[in-house]
Amino acid sequence: DAGVTQSPTHLIKTRGQQVTLRCSPKSGHDTVSWYQQALGQGPQFIFQYYEEEERQRGNFPDRFSGHQFPNYSSELNVNALLLGDSALYLCASSRPGLAGGETQYFGPGTRLLVL
Amino acid sequence: AQSVTQLDSQVPVFEEAPVELRCNYSSSVSVYLFWYVQYPNQGLQLLLKYLSGSTLVKGINGFEAEFNKSQTSFHLRKPSVHIRDTAEYFCAVSGPDTGGFKTIFGAGTRLFVKA
């Protein structure tokens, strides 16, 4: 049973560019959440997707957007990249359950470096 | 707003010694509490979670945590650590006070087990 997969593993971009990160959830999971983990910090919630809709959003600007496909996979898009967007981006999947109480399964992350 | 404080950024300990990693949260309403572990260059893995019921929660790899509502704490403990427990540990909270689906993480505690 494949776990959560993310691609690419590493990415280097320059300021002002746009980036798309991809996530495939664990089999049987229909909910995908995205997190940003800056160096030396805990993950910060970006948003969660369920039934192809953004269900909840964290405190991130509109430059961060996402999408969920009918097969439950998801993309995170970041426009107009800033140096401060350099971080590890984590995707987590879960199955429906107690709102907020579900076990999240995390992928290995995509490390983004903005120069 | 809900917040999570991990009181120690680093905890060095000798192998086979007991360890406690401290976590406090701010909400006064019902919460769901989690401990995750992150090994180098990997995503997060759930150690244990508290949703309701018994305040002592047992998790994987011999870890346990105790929910203390009056002190708004959820400290993680292990009676005897191994070298392989060296990793970053994150305390997290979710529930109605975070909007329902958002998980808020602490800054992490680096556990370093010495031989």
Judged by CB atoms closer than 8 Å, whether chains meet at B94 and A43 is answered as no
Q: B97 falls in which pLDDT band (50, 70, 90)?
A: confident
For the CA atoms of A102, A107, A108, A110, the dihedral, rounded to the nearest 10 degrees, stands at -120
Residue A88 bridge partners (DSSP): A37, A111
Compute the nearest-CA separation of A35 from chain B (Å): 10
pLDDT for residue B91 is more than 80: yes
Residue B61 is given by DSSP the state: G
Instruction: State the sign of the Cα–Cα–Cα–Cα dihedral A55, A60, A62, A67.
Output: negative
Task: Give the pLDDT confidence score for residue A85 in this predicted structure.
Answer: 98
Report yes or no: A13 and A74 within 8 Å, Cβ to Cβ.
Answer: no
Q: B28 falls in which pLDDT band (50, 70, 90)?
A: low
Task: Give the pLDDT confidence score for residue B98 in this predicted structure.
Answer: 73
pLDDT for residue B27 is more than 90: no
Cα separation, A80 vs A76, in Å, equals 14
Compute the nearest-CA separation of A81 from chain B (Å): 23
Q: Is B60 on the interface with A (CB under 8 A)?
A: no
Cα separation, B98 vs B101, in Å, equals 7
What are the pLDDT digits (tens) for A31-62? 999 999 999 899 999 999 999 999 999 999 99
Task: Give the pLDDT confidence score for residue B99 in this predicted structure.
Answer: 75
Judged by CB atoms closer than 8 Å, whether chains meet at A42 and B105 is answered as yes
Contacts with A96 from chain B: Cβ below 8 Å: none
What are the pLDDT digits (tens) for A85-113? 999 999 999 987 767 778 899 999 999 99
Task: Give the pLDDT confidence score for residue A1 in this predicted structure.
Answer: 67
Q: Is A25 on the interface with B (CB under 8 A)?
A: no
Kindly state the helix (H) or strand (E) to which residue A106 belongs, with its residue range. strand A105-106
